[in-house]
Chains A and B, each alone.
Chain A
Amino acid sequence: MTFEYAPAPESRSIVSIKPKYGHFINGSFVAGKKHFPTINPATEEILSHISLGGASDVDKAVMAAQKAYTKTWSKLTGKERGKYLYRIARILQERAREFAVLETLDNGKPIRETRDIDIPLVAAHFFYHAGWADKLDYAGLGHSPAPYGVAGQIIPWNFPLLMLAWKVAPALATGNTVVLKPAETTSLTALLFAEVCQQAELPDGVVNIVTGDGSTGAAIVNHPGIHKIAFTGSTDVGKKIARAIASTDKKATLELGGKGANIVFDDAPVDETVEGIVNGIFFNQGHVCCAGSRLIVQESIAEEIIEKLKVRMAKIRVGDPLDKNTDLGAINSKEQLNKINELSAVGDAEGAERWSPQCTLSNKGYWFAPTIFTGVTQAHRIAQEEIFGPVLSVLTFRTPQEAIDKANNSPFGLSAGIWSEKGSRIFWASQHLKAGVIWANTFNKFDPASPFGGYKESGWGREGGKHGLAAYLKNGKETGAK
């Protein structure tokens, strides 16, 4: 007797994908000149063709955003801006299933996650920021805080629509207008969001979306009409942006890479810890900048934890992202799969022990089985470099101080997790960890009210919460307007 779950695929009939897309500039779609294909990474099926934005497209978008800022958006009261944000949030909820299916098709992540996590959080971000729009003067952000004008926003492929929401919602709430570039491999939900802006009758030019690759992003960063950059992506690109704006007065928030330490003390609640480890590294195929990619476990319980982790990993359902029972979907691109393979090979070569459960992977599309490396030390590259895939490096420690030292011994400092049933130990550890986000007895929990961002090479500034608003506002003192 076995309980095989029959296929339960979510229907894709709810989405209609056009064969070709242009840019969204000044409230309407304008045809692009060059196009590149966007594919479903689970099947390699070409879904559509996306415009490759050049400097002139970016220029048009910035001009539209400037005009919208001067003529319309900056003239509206916070209350009026809030109305548009509430409207967008409601439309996103109404069209949630459509967005979830489209995101899963374009990104490869499981429908369970787009349906239960990505899209609900997207709507939550718009609702949350809608509420702030008319309260900025009273938020402790200085006297009469003012927007910068046009914000240039560049987002990654791991949470395409969620990262759009993290960027667009606070920008609009604070009275900025936006030129946004989605990631090259995942533009479709941003383009559907453009339709939502039309449906919400958002004034033309307040949100502009230019699709393209790194060169398009560079054109946004270097455009003189842009006063504020918000970037989420790799540390390498983040450093390039920092150099590019070094001699300008552009403000920037950068959300970059991470190598999150998930620290397990010997008094941890074992079963929930194992769940937390799985959620920390296998959520979203490990394509998470704050993933708990380093498991730092107390030596005295390491064996038990690893054994239970392996049993649990054998239950992870890898396969069709549209199937409602899939836990681990496809790797987003061939390029990323190559990178994961390369770094995993490094792990093998460095002498770490690789383990994956038995699972059948499709020949088509990009797949990588959930993997753990045990016997990893600080001197291993897989303990230092971000793999950005479903690969966990397991290290051990003997004393609490050693755990903290190892966790902090990284150029990154984005996230960390603490597992212990002892409250005082949790407080002590969280005070000594150098990470922007620290979870205790949970992992990968997000909320629009909670600021998110990193220490060290994990980035500049915070997104979300009141801190996130401040990044889009000059306060009275800075402008000298007091």
Chain B
Amino acid sequence: MSFYGLVDGSEKSLIHFLDQLSGVDQVGAEARAAMLATRSIKTSSKKWAIETAISMVDLTTLEGADTPGKVRALCSKAVRPDPTDPTVPSVGAICVYNDMVEIARTHLDAIGGKHVPVAAVSTAFPSGRASMEVKIQDTQDAINAGAAEIDMVIDRGAFLAGKYGLVFDEIVKIREVCGDKAHLKVIFETGELVTYDNVRKASYLAMLAGADFIKTSTGKVAPAATPPVVLVMLEAVRDFYSMTKRRIGVKPAGGIRTTKDAIKQLVLVNETAGPEWLTPNLFRIGASALLNDLLMQRMKMSDGYYASPNYVTID
């Protein structure tokens, strides 16, 4: 087996590959992210950024209390985020638990949202603590129900124990299950990996194993998608592209609630991975509350004043 001609899939080859990666200096990475956060995005560029961010939102509900009604409401929002303005783009995807995939897919198709994919969280999300058989079945179920995107979690316990081969094999297997039916996003739970060195290593493990996207967090652990974590992941996809000529997507998720936060993420993308990544095919933002703030800021840009929150829909 060969993965991009870079590793042969054995633990030895993985360790060798990860060992030669440059370390991340924590202070320097945080300083760079903080500097980029000072970019001032105004007028036409702000309008563009809001529009783009809306199209990148993976509108998410991942609660024990999720019901078909709740999911259907979210689907309506995903297709037409602002019912009064058809020029607002649909979001990037709907992100739900496995058992809600079919409901979401059916409803989206029924309301003219065929273009909005459904993403399912998988592999015993959020902890990843289950047998491989269960994880495979979990993924297969989601795909059978119509999921076009699989957001899997890695086994953080294995990663922290240095069992990179195990983490890698799981991703490879889930990649096989996805086949050409679903895109694979690999969630690291960076709040549990803690160091930027680990984030960089996990990024390469996932990319080598066949991930289409690398994703920061489940949304269940804080800190989640902090700007320096996203910076390190964007550096990884940039450098992976120069090695393999394949662009891997990045999905920050968790803690991005305001338009300001979202624009900071877009600036990070623009000045790290580059403008080629500024498309929903290569950058998504996992969020729920963010969408309404984007819509309110969008209204403010066109009307010149902040409307009451009652002018955006709650779902």
Which residues of A pack against B, CB within 8 Å?
A: 1-8, 112, 116, 267-273, 275-276, 315, 324-325, 421, 441-442
What is the CB-to-nearest-CB distance from A152 to chain B, in angstroms, rounded to a whole number? 37
Interface of B is mostly: helix
B24, B27, B29, B41: the one contacting A5 at CB < 8 Å is B41
Q: Is the CB of A6 within 8 A of B22?
A: no
Count of inter-chain pairs, beta carbons less than 8 A: 74
Known: A8-B40, A269-B23, A325-B40. A3 touches B266 (CB 8 A): yes
Confirm or deny: B109 has a beta carbon within 8 angstroms of a beta carbon on chain A.
Answer: no
- Contact between chains at A6 and B275 (CB < 8 Å): no
Which residue of A8, A112, A324, A421 is within 8 Å of B23 (Cβ)? A421
Nearest-CB residue, chain A, relative to B232: A271
128-182 of chain B: CB within 8 A of chain A: none
Complex-state Cα separation, A4 to B271, whole angstroms: 11
Given contacts A1-B278, A3-B275, contact A276 B28 (CB under 8 A): yes
Residue of A nearest to B275 (CB): A2
Q: Which residues of chain A are near B292, meaning CB under 8 Å?
A: none
**B22→A269 contact, CB < 8 A:** yes
Residues B29 and A6 in contact, CB atoms below 8 Å apart: no
CA gap between A6 and B46 in the complex, in Å: 8
Q: Which residues of A contact B40 (CB under 8 A)?
A: 5, 8, 324-325
User: Smallest CB–CB gap between A74 and chain B, Å?
Assistant: 43
Task: Give Cα distance in the complex from A441 to B275, angstroms.
Answer: 29
CB-contacts of B259-299 with A (<8 A):
266-267, 270-271, 275, 278-279
Q: Which 7 A-B pairs have the closest CB atoms?
A: A272-B28, A8-B40, A324-B40, A272-B25, A270-B22, A269-B25, A6-B45
With a cutoff of 8 Å between Cβ atoms, the chain B residues found around residue A275 in the complex are 28, 31-32
Q: Which of A1, A8, A112 contacts B279 (CB 8 A)?
A: A1
Asked if B49 is at the interface of the complex by the 8 Å CB criterion, the answer is: yes
- In this complex, what residue of B is CB-closest to A266? B22
CA distance A116 to B27 in the complex (A): 17
From 72 to 109 in chain B, residues with beta carbon under 8 angstroms from any chain A beta carbon are none
Closest to A2 in B: B275
Q: Which residues of B contact A (CB under 8 A)?
A: 22-25, 27-29, 31-32, 38-46, 48-49, 52, 235, 266-267, 270-271, 275, 278-279
**Across the two chains, which residue of chain B brings its CB closest to A422?**
B23
B275 touches A1 (CB 8 A): yes
Residue of A nearest to B276 (CB): A1
Contacting residues, chain A, for B39 (C-beta < 8 A): 5, 324-325
Interface contact B27-A442, CB-CB below 8 Å: yes
Q: Assuming A315-B271, A441-B25, is B31 touching A3 (CB within 8 A)? A: no
Measured CB to CB, the nearest residue on chain A to B46 is: A6
Q: How far is the CA of A412 from the CA of B189 in the complex (A)?
A: 49
Q: Is the CB of A272 within 8 A of B41?
A: no
Q: Which among A2, A269, A270 has the highest number of chain B CB atoms within 10 Å?
A: A269
CB-based contact B25/A116 at 8 Å = no
Task: Knowing that A271-B24, A276-B28 touch, tell me 14 more A-B residue pairs with CB under 8 angstroms.
Answer: A1-B52, A1-B279, A3-B45, A4-B48, A6-B41, A6-B44, A6-B46, A267-B23, A268-B22, A271-B28, A272-B25, A272-B32, A324-B40, A421-B23
Contact B28 A6 (CB under 8 A): no
Query: How distant is the Cα of A271 from the Cα of B25 in the complex, in angstroms?
Result: 8
**Interface CB pairs A-B, < 8 A, 29:** A1-B52, A1-B275, A2-B275, A2-B278, A3-B45, A3-B267, A3-B278, A4-B48, A5-B40, A5-B41, A5-B45, A6-B43, A6-B44, A6-B46, A8-B40, A8-B41, A269-B22, A269-B24, A270-B22, A271-B22, A271-B28, A271-B32, A272-B27, A272-B28, A315-B271, A421-B25, A441-B25, A441-B27, A442-B27
With the chains together, A325 CA to B43 CA distance in Å?
Answer: 14
Provide the bound-state CA to CA distance between A38 and B235, in Å: 44
Query: Among the interface residues B40, B49, B270, B271, which one has the most CB atoms of the partner chain A within 10 A?
Result: B40
| A6 surroundings in chain B (CB, below 8 A) | 41-46
Q: Which residues of A contact B41 (CB under 8 A)?
A: 5-6, 8
What is the distance, in angstroms, from A24's C-beta to the closest C-beta of chain B?
34
Q: A324 vs B267: C-alpha distance in the bound complex, in angstroms?
A: 14
Contacts of B266 in A (CB 8 A): 3
Q: Which residues of A contact B48 (CB under 8 A)?
A: 3-4
Please name all residues of chain A whose beta carbon is closer than 8 Å to the beta carbon of B29 when the two chains form the complex: 271-272
- Complex Cα distance, B27 from A271, in Å, reads 12
- Min Cβ gap A105→B in Å is 18
Chain B residues positioned under 8 Å from A267 (CB to CB): 23
CB distance from A276 to the nearest CB of B (A): 7
Bound state CA distance, A360 and B41, in angstroms? 21
Q: Is the CB of B38 within 8 A of A271?
A: no
Q: In whole Å, how far is B270's beta carbon from the nearest beta carbon of chain A?
A: 5
Return the chain A residue nearest B270 by Cβ: A3
Shortest distance between the CB of A47 and any CB in chain B (Å): 24
Chain A residues near B235: list those with CB within 8 A.
Answer: 271
Q: How far in angstroms is the closest Cβ of chain A from B158?
A: 25
Cα–Cα, bound, A57→B266 (Å)? 55
User: Which chain B positions have C-beta within 8 A of A269?
Assistant: 22-25, 28
Q: How far is the CB of B250 from chain A (nearest CB, A)?
A: 15
Task: Tell me, in angstroms, the Cα distance from A243 to B267 when the chains sit together.
Answer: 53
Give complex CA distance A324, B37 in Å: 12
> Which residues of chain A come closer than 8 Å to B43, judged between CB atoms?
6
The closest CB in chain A to the CB of B30 belongs to A272
Bound: A440/B27 CA distance, A: 11
CB proximity of A146 to chain B, nearest CB, Å: 41
Kindly list chain B residues whose C-beta atoms are within 8 Å of the C-beta of A421.
23, 25
Q: How many Å lie between the Cα of A2 and that of B48 in the bound state?
A: 9
Q: Chain B contacts of A3 at CB under 8 A? A: 45, 48-49, 52, 266-267, 270, 275, 278
CB A192 to nearest CB in B, in angstroms, measures 24
Q: Which residues of the other chain, A, contact B28 by a CB distance below 8 angstroms?
A: 269, 271-273, 275-276, 441-442
